[in-house]
Amino acid sequence: MFGYRCTLRTDTEVVTYLFDLMLRRHGLPVEMACRALASPFWEDIDRMPEEEKELYTALRMVYGSALLNGPFAIVLGMAEGMVALNDRIKLRPLVAARDGSRVFVASEESAIREICAKPEVSWMPRAGEPVVAKLRKPAALTQEVGQRND
Amino acid sequence: MTETTFVRPEFRVKIDREACSECGRCVHQCGWEVYELNAEGRPVPDHAKCAACHRCVTYCPTDAITIEKNPLAYKESDSMSPELRKAVWRQAETGGVMLTGMGNDKPYLRIFDHLLLDACQVTNPSVDPLREPMELRTYLGRKPDAVKVEPGENGAAPRLATEFDPQLKMDTPLMFGGMSFGSVSLNVHRALAMAAQEMGTYMNTGEGGLHADLKPYSDHIVVQCASGRFGVYAEYLQAGAAVEIKIGQGAKPGIGGHLPGEKIDEEVSTTRMIPQGTDALSPAPHHDIYSIEDLRQLIYAIKEATGYKPVSVKIAAVHNVAAIASGVVRAGADIVYLDGFRGGTGAAPTVVRDHVGIPIEIAIAVVDQRLRDEGIRSRASIVAAGGIRSSADVAKAIALGADACAIGTVALVALGCHVCQKCFTGRCSWGICTQRPDLTRRLDPEWGAERLANLLNAWSHEIKELLGALGVNAVESLRGSRERLRSLGLDKETTEILRVKPAGMGH
C-alpha cells in the first residue's frame, strides 16, 4: 500500500514506513506525525483552541488509518535527531531524561540512571506526547554511518 | 359468483372464544380488514386477508388471538414448492407481475453469519469500554491525500494549510437509509429526523422530497435526488446536510420505483410536487445520466447549487460493483453508498427482489479493495447498507472496509414493523408504510424517535464492546482491518474475494 511492501512482517517495519510516508513524502513536522500515530481523543481535541482543533481534526480525518491503536513505545532515529513516542493510553512505559545537551529515553528510569546517574531532569511523558530531541546541526546520513565505522 | 382461488390462506387466525371479550378491538386494529363482527357481536376472521403482522395479537386485551401457519399439506415436491405453485396460480389468475415489500427473504448464504471477529489475549491488552474512552466518531466525505502544515510564526503553534471539503460528522457510524415520505408515513419521517438529531447522525429523505415539518432537522437530513426528481428544487438541495443521488437500490437494482396513486394524498402530493392521486413513477435510469461523465455533470451541478456540500451516490451491489464504484468516485462523489441485495423496499417485483444483485459483504470488500488499489480510497467514504441487521453486522462491515452503515428495515422494525412484506398495499396496520390517516396516527413520532435512539444507543454500546475486545479504542482502527476477521464455513473463492483468512489461520 502507498508503494510500500512489507517484507519483515513486523509492526516496527510498518511504523517505519508510516514515518517515511508522513515525514518524507507528505512533509509533516515530526511532532504532527506523532500526533497522527498516537492521536489525542476527540473530547480533548474538541476542547482545543479553534486553530489547533482544526489541525488535530484534520490529522485524524486523514491519517485515521495510521493510528497505532495498541500498546507501543518507539524510538525513531532520523537525520535531525530522534523522537520517542508511546501509545495514546500509555499501555507501554516510556521515561525520558535530559542532562546538558544529552537526551535519554527508556522504558524504565533505572536504565537511564545506569548510564547517567544524575540527569538534570527526568520525566514520564504523557500518553501520546512525543519526546523530540533535535541535533543542533542535522547530520548527513552518510557521515553518521562513517562515524559509526570509526 | 366469485371465482374460487387455488391459493389457500397462508395463515390461520385462531380466536380463543372463552378468552375473547368481544370488545371489537381486533376489528378496529386490523388494517387488512380480516375481522368482521357477526350477528352475535363475535369477531369472525377471514384467514385469507391476514398478513401475520400481529397488530391484533398485540392489542387484544385478553390475549385471545394467535396466528398460525396454515398446516395444509401439499404433496411433497422438492422442485415445485408450495410457494412456487401458489405463485403460478396467482399469476394465472391475474396475469400480473408479483409484487412484494421489504428485503429478499430467500435462504441465500448469509456471509455476515460466516465471519467472526478477533479479540485480544495476553500479548495485546483488551480495552474496557466502561473504564476507558472509546471513540465512534466518523467523518464521511472526501479527504485530501495528505495534511499540509504551516509552521507558526515566532514559535506559535503550526497551522493547518490544507483545505477540506465539507464532511458529514457522525457521532456513531450508523445512519438511516433512504425511505421516502409516500412509501412511509410522515410520522415515520418525523421519528427518524428527531432520532438522527438526538444521536448526532442522519436520516435520508428517500426520493419523496422533504416535508416542511422536517425543515428544523435539516442539519441531520440527507436529501435524495432520484430518477423521478420528486420534490427536488434548489431550496430542497440546499436544506440538507448532504445530497444523495440515487442510482440504484439493493432490493431492485436496475429498475425504477412506483408509488401507487392511492398513497399520493395532499401532503405527499405537495412534498413530491406532483398531482394528487396520480401514480409516482421513477424511471429505471436517470434520463440525464447514461455515463460516468453524465453523472459527473449532475454531481457538480448539485455541488454548485449547494455551495459544495458532500454528494453521496447510492448504487445497488451488482456484479461489476467495484468498477462502477471506482467510476462514481472519479466522477466526484464524496460518499459511495452501497446497497446490498438484501436491502428493503416499499414495493418491488418479487422476481427482481429475490434474484438480482449481490450480497453487501462482498460489495464492501471488492469496492474497498479496488479503491485502495487505485489509490483513491481517501477520495470517498463508503456507506454500507442493504442487509445490516445487528451491531455485529456493522462491526464486520467496517472491518471489511466500510466507513459507516445505514439501516432501513431494522429502523422500521424498531417502530413496530413485523416484516410482513405487504408495504406496497398501503394498509400497514402499524401505521408505518401507509398514508391512511386512521393508520398513520398510530405512530407517535416522539415515541418512535425514542425507540430509534435507543436502538442506535444499544448498537453503539455493543460496537464499543467489540472494539474493546479487539484492543482498540477508535472505530477508524477497525476500518478495513480484515486481518481481524476470520471466515467459518465459507468456500475458498469467497474468502479470497473477501480477503479474509479462514478461522484457525494465524497472522
| DSSP sequence for B77-130 | -SSS-HHHHHHHHHHHHH-S--EE-SS--S----GGGGEEE----SSS----TT
ipTM rounded to 2 decimals = 0.91
Q: At what angle do helices B321-330 and B360-373 cross, to 10 degrees?
A: 50
Chain A contacts in chain B segment 189-218 (CB below 8 A): none
What gap in Å lies between CA B507 and CA B505, rounded to an integer?
7
Calculate the alpha carbon distances from B171 to A95, A96, B119, B136, B137 in Å: 35, 36, 24, 6, 4
> Cβ–Cβ of B125/A59 closer than 8 Å?
no
Mean pLDDT of A86-106: 95
Q: CATH says B11-96 is which class? A: alpha beta
Calculate the alpha carbon distances from B448 to B182, B221, B429, B442, B444 in Å: 18, 17, 15, 11, 6
Q: What is the pTM of this model?
A: 0.95
Chain A contacts in chain B segment 148-177 (CB below 8 A): 148-149, 151, 157-160, 162, 164, 167
List chain B domain ranges. 11-96, 176-471
Report CA dihedral (B126, B131, B135, B136) to the nearest 10 degrees: 90
Place A140 in a pLDDT band, splitting at 50, 70 and 90: low
Per-residue confidence (pLDDT) for residue A141, from 0 to 100:
52
> Cβ–Cβ of B476/A91 closer than 8 Å?
no
> Cβ–Cβ of B480/A65 closer than 8 Å?
yes
Residues of B in contact with A62 (CB under 8 A): 143-147, 378
Per-residue confidence (pLDDT) for residue A143, from 0 to 100:
45
Q: What fold characterizes domain B176-471?
A: TIM Barrel (3.20.20)
Considering CB atoms only, which of B133, B375, B477 is closest to A69? Answer: B477
Per-residue confidence (pLDDT) for residue B2, from 0 to 100:
59
**Cell numbers describing residue A70:** 495498541
List chain A domain ranges. 11-135
Ranges of chain B whose pLDDT falls below 50: 1
Per-residue confidence (pLDDT) for residue A145, from 0 to 100:
40
Mean pLDDT of chain A: 90
Calculate the alpha carbon distances from A141 to A31, A138, A145, B285 in Å: 21, 9, 6, 60
Each residue's pLDDT tens digit, B459-479: 999 999 999 999 999 999 999
Residues of B in contact with A64 (CB under 8 A): 474, 476-477, 479
What gap in Å lies between CA B357 and CA B341, rounded to an integer?
5
Per-residue confidence (pLDDT) for residue B507, from 0 to 100:
79
Place A85 in a pLDDT band, splitting at 50, 70 and 90: very high
B401, closest residue in chain A (CA to CA)? A65
